[in-house]
Structure 1
Amino acid sequence: MIPIPQSLFTLPIIPLLLFIILTEASSSWGLHGEGKKDMKLFVFGDSYVDTGNFKKSGSYMPPNGMTFPGKPSGRFSDGRVLTDYIASYLGIRTPLPYIYRNYVEKSKLENGMNYACGGTGILNTLFTDGPNLTTQIHSLQKQVQQNFYTKHDLRSSVALVNVGGNDFATFLQSNGALKDAGAFSSRLISQLCSDLKLIKSLGVRKVAITLIMPMGCLPQQSVNTSYRKCAEIPNEIAINHNKKLLHCISKLNFQSPKPVFVTLNLYNTFLSVITSTQRRRAKDPSLMNPLKACVNVEVDKEGELKYNVCEKPQVSFFWDQVHPSQNGWHQVYIRLKSSLRQLLQ
């Protein structure tokens, strides 16, 4: 997703911080997964799966990373994001971000690579400097051509793709009419399906593609209901988009001897977590509202940004206006496990 405007401020990366980021990004944290040791994970998409490719962003500024690894690490969250959980499930270390490929020995990249970049999309978004999905895939394609990754590497690999939220954010912020959202979605699906075919053509064994989240449940949308419920129209747009994506995936799998593409239903899993939390909160009002952001940004008298963090980030669902917290991603991951089994078949 496109970060909130305050997250777009730049931050110079000093050598010490670079060392810390590389160390933390390559560290293992509970490798109890079910994959094989030679498995690789290639990640494409936006800030929901980015672990450090958007250097000049708030992902490298406090309070991001306060839960894990205890300092900013390039994740748009207080801790781990979807990529970390899926890597752990596969039994491998979280792949390093693409921007650090020349800073470490090749052995540090044996678990794959993360090409995802916050703010990007299927098409070009408001973040004009970021690589869109096609460009990200071309980066892997070039590395394959250079024998950086071999055909054997690809045959034992899994790709994770999360994209689309920033495209709709750009469409709506560019005064796109709601009546044209369906046509815009069809355009996105057409390009996304071409990109998925390109990933498959490289020889990747399995491709996990997420369905778009319920956009109306993001705090920046639910604020319009005083955080009582999700906004209906953005969710309807997401539902219609996901129907088209499922149709595309069905056709792609039908064209293969064995199914290559696996869908991860972020729409249903987000709603499941939010709904269950709201039910518990009805009995215990002390629980945090899952539709509210844990981090709120204010501007002081000097014009500087001040970040106010909720009392218990560990029980929040949303970290900021658009990104889940580590707890949020963990709850989503628990509900996705049954789908993740397909990646190992």
Structure 2
Amino acid sequence: MASNKLLFSFLPFLVFFLHFGQGSSAVHFHPLKLFVFGDSYVDTGNIHVNASSARNFPYGITFPGVPSGRFSDGRVLTDFLAKYVGLKKSPIPFTVWQRFGRKGAKYGMNFGFGGTGVFDTSFPFPNMTTQINFFRNLIVNSIFSSYDIHSSIALVSPSGNDYSFYFTNNGSLEGFKPFIFSVVNQISVNLKRIYKLGVKKVVVLGLGPVGCYPKPTAPSFKKCNKTMDSIAVFHNTLLKQAVEKLNYETKEGSPNFFILNMYDTVLSIIKNKENRKGGATFKTPLKPCCFGVNSNFSCGSVDERGNKMYTLCKRPDLALFWDAVHPTQNGWFATFSSFKSTLKHII
């Protein structure tokens, strides 16, 4: 009887060891996986060489030291979230994973492509629906098991390319409000589809204060565009309603869908000029570190002789924005620091 008591008292520790222990080669701990969908805010290298400015110098000068396909001087949102959830590396980009076989998918996969939207944009890269199709096909082909999916997290970034494309193609102001409804509705469809594929925690990035990004604030880089910001506010209001509805429909006792509040977070950083690192500040938060000459925002562009057509700041770590619309690595660091209050309820 005493030996049975000893066995049962030891059992919880035995289960813990078998699940997490490294002592036996026969036992393999499956780490949480991260699946990423969206655009340039999360892309870590899906776009091939010569198809994106993010493949040109000076992109990547902070990390990894050379252009890697990230639209920043260094790490982007995906990298910070991957580290936060305990992954040793960011999930591999979809376009390169096959070079490494199944081992390449160890930490999940990144399906995000810079320039893409919820719907088709001017960029010849897969929209979010197609990205989710890629994900589904990998599940069907057993690249990811049901265990992998159920213990994973999805990050979804629709950061505004649909709206840029709408205006670029002379979309009417009268039709813009209905278009916002259609974009958010499709985001909701996408989130629900990812959930139905088995991912139980789906995190979506809200729209940032787009009127405060460098492009609409040029050339002074001092004053936000209130009209553009009102678009972001309306989008985020609809997104909040959509996520609340999704959480109500799933009824699992705890939320399955979460919003990262990009709008309030970035506005707060701009207001306080805060980068939360070493006590330094973003002295001119609306001014990008890298931007083209003659008010051209083509960071990394060169002329036919190879001469640089952009200027570059000396301290990217003191800039909130890297180029016209993308944060620096330190800008993402400051932003992600605020996201942790939401993420602590997820992980």
Query: Same fold by TM-score, threshold 0.5 exceeded?
Result: yes
1:321 match = 324
Structure 1 position 179, deviation (Å): 3.5
Deviation at 1:250, TM superposition (A): 0.3
1:50 aligns with 2:43: yes
Instruction: Indicate if the aligned counterparts of 2:156 and 2:202 stay in contact, CA closer than 8 A.
Output: yes
Alpha-carbon spacing, 1:304–1:211, altered in 2? closer, same or farther (3 Å): same
CA contact (8 A) 2:117 2:158 kept: yes
Deviation at 1:302, TM superposition (A): 4.5
- Corresponding pairs, count: 303
- The residue identity in structure 1 corresponding to 2:266 is F
How far apart are residue 102 of structure 1 and its match? 1.1
> How far apart are 1:308 and its partner, in Å?
1.8
Partner Cα distance (1:303, 1:60) in 2: 15
**How far, CA to CA, are the matches of 1:235 and 1:180 in structure 2?**
18
Distance 2:30 2:84 in 1: 12
Structure 1 residues 159 and 301: CA distance shift in structure 2, 3 A: closer
Superposed counterparts of 1:154-169, under 5 Å: 154-169=149-164
Task: Give the match for residue 288 of structure 1.
Answer: 283
CA deviations on 1:14-60 (whole Å, 9 max, x unpaired) are: xxxxxxxxxxxxxxxxxxxxxx9610000000000000011221111
Asked whether the equivalents of residues 262 and 342 of structure 1 are also in contact (C-alpha less than 8 Å), the reply is no
1:309 equivalenced with 2:305 (yes/no): no
What amino acid is the match of 2:44?
Answer: T
Higher Cα radius of gyration? 2
Query: Equivalent residue of 1:311, what SS?
Result: coil
- CA contact 2:59–2:73 (8 Å) conserved in 1: yes
Distance 1:342 1:61 in 2: 38
In the alignment, residue 339 of structure 1 is paired with which amino acid? Answer: T
Unaligned runs of 5+ in 2: 1-28, 275-279, 294-301
State how 1:188-207 maps to structure 2 within 5 Å.
188-207=183-202
Partners of 1:305 and 1:222 in 2: CA distance: 23
Counterpart position of 1:117: 113
| 1:237 maps to amino acid | I
Report the alpha carbon displacement of residue 118 of structure 1 after superposing the two structures with TM: 0.2
CA deviation string 1:213-255 (max 9, x = no partner):
111011001116x211211011000100110011000000001
User: How far apart are the structure 2 equivalents of 1:300 and 1:140?
Assistant: 39
Q: Which has the higher helix share?
A: 1
Contact 1:181 1:237 in 2 (8 A): no
Q: Any idea what the Cα deviations from partners look like across 1:120-160, whole Å, max 9, x if unmatched? A: 00001111x11000000010000001111111110100000
Higher relative contact order (CA 8 A, sep 6+): 1
Q: What residue in structure 1 maps to residue 263 of structure 2?
A: 267
* 1:306 positional shift: 2.9
2:136 corresponds in structure 1 to 141
State yes or no: 1:338 paired with 2:333: no
The 1:189–1:303 alpha-carbon spacing in structure 2 relative to 1, beyond 3 Å, is same
Decide whether the 8 Å contact of 1:41 with 1:157 is kept in 2: yes
State the partner residue of 2:226.
Answer: 232
Q: Counterpart of 2:338 in structure 1: which amino acid?
A: R
Structure 1 window deviating more from structure 2 (319-328 vs 286-295): it is 286-295
* Residue number in structure 2 paired with 1:254: 248
> How is 1:62-211 mapped onto 2 (pairs within 5 angstroms)?
62-92=57-87, 93-127=89-123, 129-211=124-206
Q: Which runs of 5+ in 1 are unaligned?
A: 1-35, 279-283
- 1:77-125 deviation per Cα after TM superposition (whole angstroms, max 9, x unaligned): 0000000000000000200100012111312311100000000000011
SS in 2 for 1:54: coil
Give the secondary structure class of the aligned counterpart of 1:321: coil
- If the length of structure 2 is used for normalisation, what is the TM-score? 0.83
For residue 273 of structure 2, the aligned residue among 255, 277, 297 is 277
Q: What root-mean-square deviation, in Å, do the aligned CA atoms of Structure 1 and Structure 2 show?
A: 2.0
State whether residues 50 and 83 of structure 1, in contact with CA within 8 Å, keep that contact through their aligned partners in structure 2: yes
Deviation string, structure 1 residues 251-287 (Cα, Å, up to 9, x no partner): 0000112321011011111111111118xxxxx9x96
Kept in 1: contact 2:54–2:67 (CA 8 A): yes
Identical residues among aligned pairs (%): 41
